Amino acid sequence: MKKFLFKRAISSAISLTLLIVAVFFLSRLTGDPTDLYLPIDASQEARDNFRAVHGLDRPLIVQFGNYVWDILHLDFGDSIRRARPALEVVLEAFKWTLQLALITMTLVSVAAITLGSLAAFNVGGFFDRVATFFSLIGAAAPDFWVAIVAIVFFSLTLGWVPTSGTGTAAHWVLPIAVLFIRPFGLILQVVRGSMITALSSAYVKTARAKGVTPKKQIFVHALRNAMLPVITVIGDQAAALLNGAVVIETIFGFPGVGKLMIDSILQRDFSVILAAIMVTAIAIFIMNILIDLAYAVLDPRIRY
């Protein structure tokens, strides 16, 4: 396991390095922040002073070298827009995204595994057809379209929930509900297919012949072996949410890391952009490690 973790850390470090290089130089293509933060009639002296304060007066390759040296010392620089440490700004936003992802994926996993298992046990029946129909619609529905329809119907027409913000529990309902639909449809389909295979295996048939109840056939005998492909899909969907549900956070004004990235790109806040990339990449790396560990727990034959 130590060897496996070491290899994963090396491969992740290489990927992260390439990502930093790409994001650093691409972010500079958005333009000079001086034009955005100073008035049009600002003097040349004020412009030169702004660029010197933020290190923008140096050659690009020197800026990159300084940036790499700083992050090796865990210094991500200061946000130009907020005049605060960039890492502090990103962690504040990431806290919201992490809560949103944890709540959504917990609800999705419980619902999809339960309903997908029941659909597989009643394959071809009424419940299976209904669950398959709605899960396919959910998997295919575009998030932005669902979000707009939900705002128009539940917020503007019925007035049941607010359209944006995070002040009360009601503010979380629509973002979670919209983010729930697509992963639920995908995971339910994977659970159903994997569980059909598990339920048709010899050991489950033997358990059925011995009079084991349907509940135990599903959740005691078949579920564990059916979970490996499900864990993979759950991990992919959770990574997508941790990476910032950019569209949903923007539509609902949710102060997560996805919205922060969009705002920082528009504001040419380079330090925040790069700190956000670093934090989300590290979070996804940790989550992938946890998924690999889950494989080993579910199937002891897997060794790293």
Mean pLDDT rounded to a whole number for the chain: 86
Domain with CATH 1.10.3720.10 in the chain: 87-298
Residue 278 has pLDDT above 90, yes or no: no
pLDDT of residue 186: 92
Angstrom CA distances, 44 to 32, 62, 165, stand at 14, 23, 40
Instruction: Compute the C-alpha angle 124/187/146, nearest 5°.
Output: 100
How far apart CA 46 and CA 13 sit, in angstroms, is 39
Give residue for tokens 């502090």.
Answer: 88
Helices 86-121, 170-199: axis angle to 10 degrees equals 40
Rounded mean pLDDT, 70-92 = 89
pLDDT of residue 176: 93
Looking from the CA of 162 toward its CB, the CA atoms found within 13 Å total 12
pLDDT tens for 106-137 read: 999 999 999 999 999 888 889 999 999 998 99
pLDDT of residue 42: 83
pLDDT confidence bin for 300, thresholds 50/70/90: low
Q: Whose CA is closest to 108, among 192, 170, 176?
A: 176
Own/partner contacts of 35-39, CB < 8 Å, gap of 24 or more, are 36/267, 36/268, 37/80, 37/81
pLDDT of residue 303: 60
pLDDT confidence bin for 243, thresholds 50/70/90: low
pLDDT tens for 162-221 read: 888 888 888 899 999 999 999 999 999 999 999 898 888 888 888 888 888 888 888 778
Rounded mean pLDDT, 44-70 = 88
How far apart CA 196 and CA 149 sit, in angstroms, is 35
How far apart CA 173 and CA 158 sit, in angstroms, is 14
Helices 223-242, 170-199: axis angle to 10 degrees equals 150
Q: What percent of the chain has pLDDT over 70?
A: 97
Angstrom CA distances, 166 to 173, 176, 245, 254, stand at 10, 12, 15, 7
How far apart CA 112 and CA 119 sit, in angstroms, is 10
Instruction: Name the class of domain 87-298.
Output: mainly alpha
First to last CA, the chain: 5
Looking from the CA of 2 toward its CB, the CA atoms found within 13 Å total 0
Q: What percent of the chain has pLDDT over 90?
A: 26
pLDDT tens for 7-27 read: 777 887 888 888 888 888 888
Rounded mean pLDDT, 84-113 = 93
How far apart CA 80 and CA 82 sit, in angstroms, is 6
pLDDT tens for 219-235 read: 778 887 888 888 888 88
User: Phi, psi at residue 125, to the nearest 5°?
Assistant: -85, -175
Rounded mean pLDDT, 296-302 = 70
pLDDT of residue 85: 92
pLDDT tens for 140-172 read: 888 888 999 999 999 999 999 888 888 888 889
